[in-house]
Amino acid sequence: MIIAADNLRITLPPIASAVAQSAPAAIRETALRCRDAGARAIDINSGPLGRDPAAGMTFLVRTVQEAVDLPLIRNTTGLAAVAAGLAACKRRAVINGVSLERRRREGFLPLARQYDADIVGYLLGPDGHVPADAAGRMEAAVALFNECERAGIAPERLIIDPVVAPLVWQDGNRQNMAVLEVIRTLPDLLGFPVRSIAGLSNLTTGAPDADTRRRFQCAFLPMLAAAGLDVILMNVLDPSVMQIAEDCGRIAAGTIFTWR
Amino acid sequence: MIIAADNLRITLPPIASAVAQSAPAAIRETALRCRDAGARAIDINSGPLGRDPAAGMTFLVRTVQEAVDLPLIRNTTGLAAVAAGLAACKRRAVINGVSLERRRREGFLPLARQYDADIVGYLLGPDGHVPADAAGRMEAAVALFNECERAGIAPERLIIDPVVAPLVWQDGNRQNMAVLEVIRTLPDLLGFPVRSIAGLSNLTTGAPDADTRRRFQCAFLPMLAAAGLDVILMNVLDPSVMQIAEDCGRIAAGTIFTWR
């Protein structure tokens, strides 16, 4: 299981003002802290990038790449920003993400093909809503692979995100058990080693405090690891959750176990 | 997931001397602490019971029953002690356990039938060894259900223990992934809601210290819970592992989630 940092968020004031002022220090520091904490990839969650999204994304990607030599995942809805980020990227990029929503499909798939990028595909319906059950998620996955084929993208480029549900949702528990089932069964269903990614922070949206967030993330992360998840997108700067992620890797690795 | 305490062990000096002197205080105190920590069943792991095993077991069962109103799981290899424990038991008892080893089968199955007790069945080969893979464990499960049928015991009385492997075993990781697969698939394979139990402490046999034990128990327990485990046998007096066990119950319960 590859651990990817979700810590570089433009919604955080120090990152937002670093981008606004083209001042690399806070971005570089966050990237270095993530790497030192054990992240093997970094998600650049740029959100809104102000008046010139392409320039903002180029600056973000260049700054992170100068600080750390890690794969980058680009997470934004702005097409111009994604294109600029892909152009600035030294390694194979990951676009986060496509779904069956027409706007996302038609925008991101041609870009993924042009840059031979990996692309994260969310298991959402064409209306952007979470499917009701595991079967609905499987259907969305099959439809996404078909869309990729139609766009000339190899199926191996698509990384499936079954969309972890907030526990506070009325059917959050049931949804998250469906998420585990999809991760576990998708490779058999589609007949090749489908890669999967999941965002852990979403689980604890609305949690009353940091300790509660940590507790439930620590309880759900091993469930994802045992289901065979390939990439976990998480707060790598929480030592408790990182410890569990690394220990899960040791248990579920399929290799000989070591305590450290 | 029902949390059962594995803390009442005759190998612990205070419990051993309590049994030897027929002094109930230490036994009662351990049972009360387990109940207060959240245990919903208590395993009486009597081990060797000295010169009069039947009297020792009767004393243990009566003392625990006087202290707490919880189901008891009896864990010993001594036939006379098990029989005495069953006779002293007020609720439906659980015998821990039978396997395909002739000695255990022929000893415990008639007792289980006589007392209409639940019985834990270990997925071991007839030679007492752990099977090589998940398929070997499935075969052992089918054979155990057949043995129960032959002995006139209803299949619902058998609780399957797929035998958690110590991580330090050369193939410990692989064995434990097979354990998860067996817990997950056995109900479908056999066509009824087969109950399962697993002992968590076995996972960390040989761990260098308490913190390492705790870390890996916290990482593996959610994997067991997500696989659908019915009873977890564990050290209920470790607050970190108990917290994870309770949180896993909240996530994997199939009911509406609550933070507390």
Task: State mean pLDDT over A109-138.
Answer: 93
Of the listed ranges A164-173, B5-14, B190-199, B249-258, the one predicted with least confidence: B249-258
CB pair distance less than 8 Å for A252 and B225: no
- Kindly report the nearest CA distance between residue A184 and chain B, in angstroms: 11
Q: Report helix, strand or coil for B92.
A: coil
pLDDT at A77: 67
Q: For residues A111 and A128, what is the distance between their CA atoms, to the nearest angstrom?
A: 21
Q: Give residues with Cβ within 8 angstroms of A223, minimum separation 6.
A: A180, B222, B223, B225, B226, B248, B251, B252
What CA–CA distance (Å, rounded) separates B86 from B89?
A: 5
Q: Cα angle vertex A248, ends A245, A251, to 5°?
A: 160
Confidence of residue A260 (pLDDT cuts 50, 70, 90): confident
Condensed to tens digits (0 to 9), the pLDDT of residues B45-77 reads 877 777 788 888 899 999 999 999 999 987 766
Q: What is the pLDDT of residues B197-226, one digit of tens each?
A: 999 999 999 999 999 999 999 999 999 999
Please state the rounded mean pLDDT for residues A99-107. 88
Q: What residues form DSSP beta bridges with B4? A: B41, B233
Beta bridge partners of A38: none
pTM: 0.93
Confidence at residue A121, expressed as pLDDT on a 0 to 100 scale: 95
Mean pLDDT of B86-90: 87
Q: Measured between alpha carbons, how far is B188 from B142 in angstroms, rounded to an integer?
A: 12
Q: Interface of chain A against chain B, CB under 8 Å? A: 167-168, 170, 172-174, 176-177, 180, 207-208, 212, 215-216, 218-223, 225-227, 243-244, 247-248, 250-257, 259
Cα–Cα distance measured from residue B223 to residue B226, given in angstroms and rounded to the nearest whole number: 5
Element at A45 (helix H, strand E): strand A41-45
Q: What integer is the mean pLDDT of B106-116?
A: 91
pLDDT at A97 over 80: yes
pLDDT confidence of residue B77: 67
Taking only the tens place, the pLDDT of each residue in B118-150 is 999 999 999 989 998 999 999 999 999 999 999
> Is the Cβ–Cβ distance between B102 and B124 less than 8 Å?
no
Written as six digits, the tokens of B163 are 């035998």
Q: Nearest CA to CA, how far is B201 from chain A (Å)?
A: 15
Cβ atoms within 10 Å of A36's Cβ, excluding its own = 11
Which residue type, as a one-letter code, is found at position A120?
A: V
Mean per-residue pLDDT for A146-167?
95
d(CA A236, CA A249): 15
Beta bridge partners of A106: none
Q: How confident is the model at residue A3 (pLDDT cuts 50, 70, 90)?
A: very high
Q: What is the pLDDT of residues A31-48, one digit of tens each?
A: 999 999 999 999 988 777
* More confidently predicted of B170 and B161: B161
